[in-house]
Amino acid sequence: MELTKNITLGVYLPGKSSIHNLDPRTKIITATIMIVLLLISRSYAAFALSALFTGFLITLSGVPAGYAMRGLKPMLPVLAIMWVFQLFLFKAPDTTVYFHWWIFEATAAGLHMGNLIILRVLFLFTVTTFLTLTTSVVSLTDGLENLLKPLRAIGIPSQELVMTLVIALRFVLILAEELEKIIKAQMARGVAFDRGNFIQKTRKIFPVFLPLFIGAFKRAEELIVAMDARSYTGGKGRTKMKTLHMGRVDLGAAAVMIVYGGMLIYIIISTEPMI
Amino acid sequence: MSIEVVNLSHSYKEGTPFEKQVLFEINLSIGEGEFVGIIGPTRSGKTTLAQHFNALHIPRRGKVLIDGLDTKDKRADLVKIRHRVGYVFQNPEYQLFAPTVGEDIAFGPLNQKLSREEVEGRVREAMAQVGLDYRALRDRDIFALSGGQKRRAAIAGVLACKPGVLVLDDITAGLDPRGREEILSVIKELHHRRNLTTIFISNSMDEVAAMAERIIVIDRGRVIMDDPTRKVFARFKELRDIGLELPEVTVLIDSLRTAGFNLPAGVLNISEALTSISAALRELEARK
Amino acid sequence: MHKLIETNGLTYYYRKGTKDEVKALDSVNMAVYKGEMLSITGQNGSGKSTLARHFNALLKPGQGSILIKGLSTANKDSIPEIRKIIGMVFQNPDNQLVSSIVEEDIAFGPENLGLPQAEIIDRVDWALETLNLEDLRREPPHNLSEGQKQQVAIAGVLAMKPECIVLDEPTAHLDPRGRREVLESAIRLNREEGITIVLLTHFMSEVVHCDRMLVMEGGAVKMDGSPEKVFRQSAEIKSAGLDFPVASQVAEGLRREGFKIKPDIVRTEELIDCLCQLKS
C-alpha cells in the first residue's frame, strides 16, 4: 500500500543542474511559452521538434527520464480511450476511410485528431511535471508572486492567492498520507479495496472521504490559528527574506528559448497541419 | 496465533529516485499468547514492520507467516488475515467514520458477512471489553464522545473482528495520565483474560517496561535486540546510544549504582525500585 | 515581580448561546511573571488550552479580562502588539509549518512583521543557531523527525523575538528523544535568552523542571505554586487526574519505610543527592 509513489506532479527532485539554477521566473515564463506554442502546433514536424527540445531539457536537468514520465502511467488507459473515440467519432468531409463497420468509421482525419489530442496532453503533462520536478515549491511561489505583482494594481490580491497555492501544495502530500492511513485502517477492518465491480468499489470509497474531510478541515483550522499567531494578516506590509536574481544562466536560457521558439514558429507556419 | 518473519526487507518508493530501504533482513517469531513490546527511535521502521503482520504490506523480499500462512501466497485470503490480526493505528479516533458508535464498531463484523444478531453481539461484547456502556453509548453520535472515549471506541472496532493477535501502534499518544491508565488496563485485561497475542509499539519506555514480557528493539530497519524486558533495559547504554530514553526509575537506579549503591541492574518499576533501595539502605545502616 | 500576563475573572464559553454551551473557563485569576518558566497541567478538557489561547488573543474573553503588559486583548488595535510579545507553539508541528523549506518557514513570522530583509536574515540565522538547527536550514520539513519539526516551529516563533513563548503540549506526539530535546530547548530559552516560558503538558517529568505550576480542573485553576509545594497535596493531585513525578513516588515510599528522606523531592537529581547523603 503506497499511494504517494506514483505522484510526480508537484514533487521536487533536488539537483544542481543549470535548469535547477534558473530563476523561477525564467522557468515559469519558459514553461508558459512552451505550452502556448504546443497549443498552436498542428504538424508532426512541430511536435518532433518539441520532443527533441523537451528531451534535451530533461537530459540537461539530470532528472531520470523514466521518473519524469512515471506519472503518466495511471493516465494511459484514459488516453487510449480518448484516442479510440477520436479515431471513430471524429467526422470530416473528404477524408480517407480506413475501416467501416455499422455506424462507425475509422478515418484519416480521426486518426490525426486522436494523435493531436494525445500529443498535446502528453506534452502538457510533461512540461508541467518537469517544471515542478526542477523547481522547489518555495521558489515556484516566489516567482509566481513576483510575476503576478502588477495585478495588485487592478485589485487582484495576488500575494494571498499565491499563499493559498503554497498551502494547497503543502497539503497535497499531507492529505495523500492521511488518505493512505484511512484506507489502511479500513483494510485492517476487512474492506477489500481491490475487489468487486466498479459500483462496489465506488461504494467502498465513501467511508474513506468522511474522515479525510474532517481531518483536512481540522488541520486547515489549526494551520490558520498558527498563522494568525505568527502575525499573518495577508500580503499587506509583508517583506521577504529572499529577493530573486536573474543571472547569466537566465540570459542563456532566454537565448535558447528565442532560437527554439523561432524555429518552432517557422515550422508551424511552413509545414502542412496534420488536420 | 503465531507470527513468523523470515529475511524480511522493505523499501519505500521502490523504483523512483526517492527509493529508501526501511527494513533490512528482519527475522523474528512471536508465539501464541505472548506480550511483545516493539521500541525504536522514530522512523526506525517499527510501524512498517508491524503493518506486515496483517498484510497491509506484502513482502517483496523475505516472507511473513501468520499461523503458518504465507501473506505472499496468491491463494491466501488477506481479508481473513486482517481480521485475525487486529491493528489499532496511531490516533485511531481520526479514522472513525460512521455516524454512531455502534455502527462504527459494527463495520468490521459486517465486512465478515455475519448475521445481524451476531454483529450486534460482537458490538456489545467489544464495547464491554473497552469499558464503554453499551446501552448509553451505542446510538451516541461518535463526534460527541470525549477524546479518550473515541479512542476506546476505535479499539472496540478492532476487537469486534475477534482477532487472535492485537497490534497496538502507540495507542496512548496525546492522552492525559488518567486516559493512559484506563487504556492500558483494558489492554492488560484483554491479554490476561483472552490470552490474546499482543504486540505493543510505544514511544513511552515506562509503558513498555510495565506492560511487555519481551522487547524487540528496532534501529534503522534492523532488529538489534530481542530479549526479555529486564534484559533489554539492562543494556541501557546501547539503548541511549540509538536515541531511546530509559524509564525514569531505571535512570534513577542506574545513577545510584554509579554513586556506589549496591543495587541490581534492570529495575523496571517503582515498587521494585523501592524494595531494592530499601534493602541497600538497611544494609548500609547495619554496617554502620 | 513584574506581571507579563494577568487575568481577572476570565470566563469563556464554547458555543455560547446554544444548547451545547460549555463553560470552558470559569473566572480564572492567574498571572505569568516576567522571566519565569511556568507549566500548566490538568486533564484533557480541563481548560488549559483555552486559557493559553487567550494569551495571544486567539480567543477573546467571554467575561472578565486579560491584560498582556497592560494591553487588553479585547482591544482590537492592541492585537498586533500582543502577538509580538507572546509567541505560540502548538501540538502538531505538521499543522503549523507554512513553508516547505526550514529557513523559509522560520522567516515567515519576521516577514509578516514587515522587517527589513537584512534583519530577517539575521533573525533567521540567530534562531537556527539558538536551537542548533543550522544543519537543517535547507531541508524540507517532511524529511525531519517529529522532534526536529517541533524545534523548527519553536525557531519560527523565536525569530519574532517574543518576550514569552507559550507551548501548547508541544511534546504530546514526540518520541522520548524529541521530548527531551524540546524540553531542553525551552529550558535554555528561559535561562539563557531570558524568555518567559509557559509550558502546557501532561508529563510530570517536564513539570518538575518548571519554576511554578498551575493545575487546572473543570475550567478553573485548582493549584498554583512551585512543583515541590503542589505535589505535597496528594489528594488534590489525584482528583485532578495527574501522576506524581517518579522521584517523589520513590521518596514517599522510602519515607513510609521509615527512612529519613527530606520533604518536597520532585526531581530525580534531588533524590540521588539525598540518598548519597544518607549513605555517607
Whether A237 sits inside 8 A of C116 (CB atoms) is: no
Cell of A251: 540570459
Which candidate from A4, A64, A181 shows the least CB-CB separation from B95? A181
C156 CA to chain A: closest CA distance, Å? 8
Whether B277 sits inside 8 A of C249 (CB atoms) is: no
Least CA distance to B156: which residue of chain A? A189
Asked whether the predicted pLDDT for residue A194 surpasses 70, the reply is no
Cell of C40: 500548566
pLDDT of residue A95: 76
In angstroms, the CA A30 to CA B199 distance is 55
Residue corresponding to grid cell 488518505: A179
| A190 contacts in chain B (CB < 8 Å) | 79, 82-83, 108, 111-112, 161
Q: Specify whether C66 is located in the same domain as C176.
A: yes
Interface test with C, best of B267, B281, B282 (most C CBs within 10 A): B281
pLDDT of residue B248: 87
Q: List all residues of chain C from 34 to 53 with a beta carbon under 8 Å from chain A.
A: 53
Least CA distance to A184: which residue of chain B? B56
Whether C43 sits inside 8 A of B259 (CB atoms) is: no
Asked whether the predicted pLDDT for residue A9 surpasses 80, the reply is no
Q: Which of A140-144, A166-170, B199-203, C70-74 has the lowest mean pLDDT?
A: A166-170
Q: Specify whether C184 is located in the same domain as C263.
A: no
pLDDT of residue B93: 86
CB C9 within 8 A of CB C69: no
Domain count, chain C: 2
Q: Is A237 on the interface with C (CB under 8 A)?
A: yes
Q: Specify whether C223 is located in the same domain as C85.
A: yes
pLDDT of residue B266: 78
Tell me how far the alpha carbon of residue C67 is from its chain's centroid: 18
B166 CA to chain A: closest CA distance, Å? 11
pLDDT of residue C160: 97
Least CA distance to C95: which residue of chain A? A223
In this complex, the chains that touch C, judged by 3 or more CB pairs closer than 8 A, are A, B
Interface test with B, best of A130, A189, A193 (most B CBs within 10 A): A189
Q: Specify whether C189 is located in the same domain as C254.
A: no
pLDDT of residue A156: 87
In angstroms, the CA C200 to CA C52 distance is 8
Residue C175, classed as helix, strand or coil, is: coil
Q: Is B74 on the interface with A (CB under 8 A)?
A: no
Whether B260 sits inside 8 A of C279 (CB atoms) is: yes
Whether B97 sits inside 8 A of A207 (CB atoms) is: yes
Q: Specify whether C194 is located in the same domain as C267.
A: no
Whether A241 sits inside 8 A of C121 (CB atoms) is: yes
Terminal-to-terminal C-alpha distance of chain B: 56
Residue corresponding to grid cell 486567539: C58
**Res. C136 pLDDT band, cuts 50 70 90:** very high
Interface test with A, best of C56, C99, C146 (most A CBs within 10 A): C99
Asked whether the predicted pLDDT for residue A3 surpasses 80, the reply is no
In angstroms, the CA C97 to CA C152 distance is 8
Which candidate from B94, B107, B108 shows the least CB-CB separation from A211? B94
Whether B281 sits inside 8 A of C271 (CB atoms) is: no
| C215 contacts in chain B (CB < 8 Å) | none
In this complex, the chains that touch B, judged by 3 or more CB pairs closer than 8 A, are A, C
Q: Specify whether C141 is located in the same domain as C168.
A: yes
Q: Specify whether C109 is located in the same domain as C218.
A: yes
Interface test with B, best of C275, C277, C278 (most B CBs within 10 A): C275
C39 CA to chain B: closest CA distance, Å? 15
A122 CA to chain C: closest CA distance, Å? 28
A240, burial (CB in 10 Å: exposed 0-12, middle 13-18, buried 19+):
middle
**Res. A41 pLDDT band, cuts 50 70 90:** very high
Asked whether the predicted pLDDT for residue C13 surpasses 90, the reply is yes
Whether A169 sits inside 8 A of C100 (CB atoms) is: yes
Please, which residues bridge with residue B225 across strands?
A: B217
Q: Which residues have CB under 8 Å from B181's CB, separation 6+?
A: none
Asked whether the predicted pLDDT for residue A136 surpasses 70, the reply is yes
C263, burial (CB in 10 Å: exposed 0-12, middle 13-18, buried 19+):
exposed
CB C180 within 8 A of CB B248: no
What single DSSP character describes residue C244? P
Whether A210 sits inside 8 A of B97 (CB atoms) is: yes
Q: Specify whether C150 is located in the same domain as C41.
A: yes
pLDDT of residue A123: 92
Whether C104 sits inside 8 A of A138 (CB atoms) is: yes
- pLDDT tens by residue, chain B, 288 residues: 899 999 999 999 888 888 899 999 999 999 999 999 999 988 899 999 999 999 999 999 999 999 999 999 988 888 889 999 999 998 888 888 888 999 999 999 998 889 999 999 999 999 999 999 999 999 999 888 888 899 999 999 999 999 999 999 999 988 899 999 999 999 999 999 989 999 999 988 989 999 999 999 999 999 999 999 999 998 988 998 998 888 889 889 999 999 999 998 878 889 999 999 999 999 988 887
In angstroms, the CA B216 to CA B219 distance is 10
Which candidate from A226, A231, A241 shows the least CB-CB separation from C96? A226
Whether B12 sits inside 8 A of A67 (CB atoms) is: no
* Listed residue (B268, B90, B187, B243) closest to C175, CA to CA: B243
Q: Is A213 on the interface with C (CB under 8 A)?
A: no
Asked whether the predicted pLDDT for residue A207 surpasses 70, the reply is yes
Residue A207, classed as helix, strand or coil, is: helix
| C259 contacts in chain B (CB < 8 Å) | 278, 281
Q: What is the CATH number of the domain that holds C54?
A: 3.40.50.300
Residue corresponding to grid cell 513482502: B59
pLDDT of residue A141: 85
Q: Specify whether C222 is located in the same domain as C266.
A: no
Which candidate from A13, A185, A215 shows the least CB-CB separation from B17? A13
| Structural domain boundaries enclosing C79 | 3-244
Amino acid, single-letter form, for residue A167: I
Least CA distance to A68: which residue of chain B? B16
The mean per-residue pLDDT over the stretch A194-208 comes to 71
The mean per-residue pLDDT over the stretch A214-242 comes to 88
* Listed residue (A118, A83, A90) closest to A104, CA to CA: A90
Q: Specify whether C57 is located in the same domain as C192.
A: yes
Whether C177 sits inside 8 A of B270 (CB atoms) is: no
CA dihedral C208, C211, C215, C219 (to 10 degrees): -140
Asked whether the predicted pLDDT for residue A188 surpasses 70, the reply is yes
Whether A4 sits inside 8 A of B13 (CB atoms) is: yes
| A166-170 long-range contacts, CB within 8 A, separation 24+ | A166/A137, A166/A138, A166/A141, A166/C98, A166/C99, A166/C100, A167/A223, A167/C98, A169/A10, A169/A137, A169/A141, A169/C100, A170/A137, A170/C97, A170/C98, A170/C99, A170/C100
pLDDT of residue C256: 93
Least CA distance to C258: which residue of chain B? B278
Whether A166 sits inside 8 A of C99 (CB atoms) is: yes
The mean per-residue pLDDT over the stretch A11-15 comes to 84
Q: Specify whether C75 is located in the same domain as C176.
A: yes
Which candidate from A64, A188, A214 shows the least CB-CB separation from B17? A64
Which candidate from C95, C112, C121 shows the least CB-CB separation from A238? C112
Q: Specify whether C107 is located in the same domain as C200.
A: yes
3-class SS string, chain B: CCEEEEEEEEEECCCCCCCEEEEEEEEEEECCCCEEEEECCCCCCHHHHHHHHCCCCCCCEEEEEECCEECCCCCCCHHHHHHHEEEECCCHHHHCCCCEHHHHHHHHHHHCCCCHHHHHHHHHHHHHHCCCCHHHHCCCEHHHCCHHHHHHHHHHHHHCCCCCEEEEECCCCCCCHHHHHHHHHHHHHHHHHHCCEEEEECCCHHHHHHHCCEEEEEECCEEEEEEEHHHHHHCHHHHHHCCCCCCHHHHHHHHHHHCCCCCCCCCCCHHHHHHHHHHHHHHHHHHC
The mean per-residue pLDDT over the stretch A231-250 comes to 87
